[in-house]
Amino acid sequence: MTTDVEKRDAVSQRTAATPTLAPHSDVPSGHKEPAGRVGGGLFDAKQLVKSLPEALRKLDPRVMAKSPVMFVVLVGSVVTTGLAVKDPSDWFGWAITAWLWLTTISANLAEAVAEGRGKAQADTLRKAKTDTVARRIMGKNEERVPGTELKIGDLVVCEAGDIVPGDGDVVEGVASVDESAITGESAPVIRESGGDRCAVTGGTKVLSDRIVIKITAKPGETFIDRMINLVEGAARQKTPNEIALNILLASLTIVFLLAVVTLKPFAIYAGADEQTSVIVLTALLVCLIPTTIGALLSAIGIAGMDRLVQRNVLAMSGRAVEAAGDVSTLLLDKTGTITLGNRRASGFVPVRGTKEAEVADAARLSSLADETPEGRSIVVLAKEKYGLRERHQGELAHATWIEFTAQTRMSGVDVDGRKIRKGATGSVIAWVEKQGGTVAADTRELTDRISQAGGTPLLVAAEDDKGARVLGVIHLKDVVKDGMRERFDELRRMGIKTIMITGDNPLTAKAIADEAGVDDFLAEATPEDKMALIKREQAGGKLVAMTGDGTNDAPALAQADVGVAMNTGTSAAKEAGNMVDLDSDPTKLIEIVEIGKQLLITRGALTTFSIANDVAKYFAIIPAMFAVAYPSLDKLNIMRLASPESAILSAVVFNALIIIALVPLALKGVRYRPMSAHKMLRRNLGLYGLGGLIAPFVGVKLIDLLISLIPGIG
């Protein structure tokens, strides 16, 4: 019996552990390959070939109209194609047309590549879906029905080897479950009734024991179904920031369109009509409007969600990812989030006149029949820390086990003429006094000290030939997960305030908060208190993120701007949040915030580059168009381009190539480094603003030199 208890506790402790992720890496250390993860790099040839048909389908004007900038490029491509067909001998018209179509297709290809990786992930997830037969409980009997016929509220039985037929909560029993089809984690997890680790997902496999599951999702609306829809892009709505940027880009496009249209009458008046043909004006328009960011904007947003999926986090919308980049306050539920969730034995404290080993042995004996996490941890601690030998079955054959009840608040064992009890302080003291024994004078002092440190004291007492007496105290404590303090230090450097919320008393809450290193805490918190705290922070103009796993966290998860529910948590928590962490690692919020900030920085950096790029291209085309009519404009031809045709064609070619060159950056994202907004703006202007100005001068000149080598041009 002893061996079974200890093995079970060891499994429980291993499966409760969560990996610690590296804060500054593209793929965190210890990071698993999530379900559906697609390899092959950012921009491999196979992915390009698979995405090309989708890019061509996106040439549908109804699709292109969603991006005003690229819609104008499409219209320009169609117009120049018509003019080129009208005059087949016009090599310049055909060259401009070809590069405009390449510009349009490149923009669609960037989006198709990003979406293609999500669809590939969805295909892998579909393989995890199996047509299962469920053992549904009907009264006192069981019936076998297809999993697709289950309804919300049905009770089903799963035993070792069974596939869970649908999403639900464990209402009876405890079992080891293989969730590798969902999370990619090969190690099994423990799912049990009555706590925040009761949720099971359809498609996972029960490895041991027997559990009864209450179905919480309709067929077709399970967690895997939602994952498939999310990674395929069904819920990728434009965020407010993205909508605002689209409006800006549309406004710039209209302004440049009006400006280009007015050039024609000015050219006629100046006698430069030949230099301002419709093809030239179309090329000018395409080069001046912000085509670079317009082409990459959608891919940036899709790639941001894709990076979350690579880290085993599902975001319900792009809005949640973007909001994560602006989070300034983080609320964390203590139990199961900051701590492992179960109180565990951390030490045995003897009263005066008793040895520590005697307390450990008595505590261990009285816990052998205690199947609670606390009881199992006492057995393991006594063996591992104090080196107590194992008890053989023969030694305990005649033992009488005293089970814990809510009335006695004690458990124990009667063996070898001894009576051993452990339990709540008041109950054990009352038992000792009832047996006519004595309570050591320092007993109350020891229990108070443990309570003030945020722990839970359990007394151990025995009755033998020495009479009934208290032996010592077991110190139970809620164990803080490894690496939490370092994580909170990292969040502090990112400018994020951390607040722990718990239902514990203030003394316990303060002890855990100090050990974990959070900035503040809210003790004895009710769901209403959590909601009120979030609303106060939001009223101050702050964006709030909340992580949690319990049903009592659901209202706060719904109120928060970013609600990250743990996959090990209840169905209510996962429904309320707008993100689900498949690894159930609350410290991963750092990666989520970094990805959100990375998305915003990437969008801002490429917008800066695009606008600066357009300014530089202005100096390539305008002087070439009007230098004949106004020789003084030749002073603006600072690149000394070979000819008007070469200048215009070089600008159009560069415009197309720069989009292709920036696709990997849009998909991977600009690397995030913690810094102030002022420094970040200065960095963007210096790197991407200045780079956007310089790149066209270099690129257009090089292309012009190559074009001028072609016979008949120059």
Structure tokens at 132: 């299962």
Do 534 and 637 fall into the same domain?
A: no
Can you tell me the mean pLDDT for 582-603? 82
CA–CA–CA angle 435, 439, 440 (5° rounding): 150
For residue 564, being part of any structural domain is answered with yes
E runs forming strands in 77-140:
133-138
What is the sign of the dihedral through the CA atoms of 345, 550, 156 and 172? positive
Q: Which of 582, 617, 635 is the last residue of a domain?
A: 582
Angle between helices 45-57 and 91-128 (to 10 degrees): 110
DSSP state of 438: B
Please identify which residue in the block is written with the tokens 């030749």: 634
The pLDDT mean for the chain works out to 78
- Spatial separation of the C-alpha atoms in residues 647 and 350, rounded to whole Å: 89
Contact yes or no for 363/530 (Cβ under 8 A): no
CATH number (domain holding residue 182): 2.70.150.10
| 636 has a pLDDT exceeding 80 | no
Q: Estimate to the nearest angstrom the gap between the alpha carbon of 629 and the chain centroid.
A: 59
- The band of 42, judged by pLDDT with boundaries at 50, 70 and 90, is very low
Do 350 and 471 fall into the same domain?
A: yes
CATH number (domain holding residue 425): 3.40.1110.10
For residue 2, being part of any structural domain is answered with no
Do 322 and 370 fall into the same domain?
A: no
Do 684 and 612 fall into the same domain?
A: yes
For residue 595, being part of any structural domain is answered with no
Do 470 and 489 fall into the same domain?
A: no
For residue 713, being part of any structural domain is answered with no
The residue that leads in pLDDT, 5 or 304, is 304
Please identify which residue in the block is written with the tokens 């790149």: 695
Q: Which of 178, 204, 231 is the last residue of a domain?
A: 231
Least-confidence region, from 69-83, 326-340, 655-669, 672-686: 672-686
- Spatial separation of the C-alpha atoms in residues 73 and 59, rounded to whole Å: 11
> Around 637, how many Cα atoms within 13 Å sit in the side-chain half-sphere?
22
Closest-CA residue to 111 (of 667, 602, 683, 711): 667
Contact yes or no for 73/104 (Cβ under 8 A): yes
Closest-CA residue to 429 (of 399, 473, 464): 473
Do 353 and 443 fall into the same domain?
A: yes
Residue 478 bears catalytic tag? no
pLDDT of residue 317: 67
Per-residue pLDDT of 370-391, as tens digits, reads: 777 777 788 888 888 777 655 5
Do 575 and 698 fall into the same domain?
A: no
Least-confidence region, from 66-80, 383-397, 594-608, 695-709: 383-397
Given 333, 478, 581, 583, the catalytic residue: 333
Closest-CA residue to 667 (of 298, 123, 238): 298
Structure tokens at 117: 């990786």
Surface-to-core class of residue 421, CB atoms within 10 Å of its CB (0-12 exposed, 13-18 middle, 19+ buried): buried
DSSP state of 19: P
- Spatial separation of the C-alpha atoms in residues 541 and 570, rounded to whole Å: 30
Do 540 and 664 fall into the same domain?
A: no
Ramachandran class of 180: left when φ > 0, alpha when ψ lies in -120 to 50, beta otherwise: alpha
- State how many domains the chain has: 4
Residue 691, C-beta contacts closer than 8 angstroms, at least 6 positions apart: 609, 612
For residue 677, being part of any structural domain is answered with yes
pLDDT of residue 41: 41
Do 111 and 246 fall into the same domain?
A: yes
Can you tell me the mean pLDDT for 311-328? 80
What's the domain range around 207?
131-231
For residue 32, being part of any structural domain is answered with no
Closest-CA residue to 552 (of 316, 340, 335): 335
For residue 69, being part of any structural domain is answered with yes
Q: Which of 231, 265, 297 is the last residue of a domain?
A: 231
Do 261 and 373 fall into the same domain?
A: no
For residue 28, being part of any structural domain is answered with no
Percentage above 90 pLDDT, the chain: 8
Strands of the 141-146 sheet, one edge to the other: 141-146, 133-138, 155-159, 210-215, 168-172, 199-200
pLDDT of residue 110: 79
Structure tokens at 678: 């002022």
Do 552 and 673 fall into the same domain?
A: no
The neighbour count for residue 695, using CB atoms within 10 Å, is 18
Do 320 and 439 fall into the same domain?
A: no
**418, amino acid identity:** R
pLDDT of residue 383: 82
pLDDT of residue 157: 93
Contact yes or no for 473/450 (Cβ under 8 A): yes
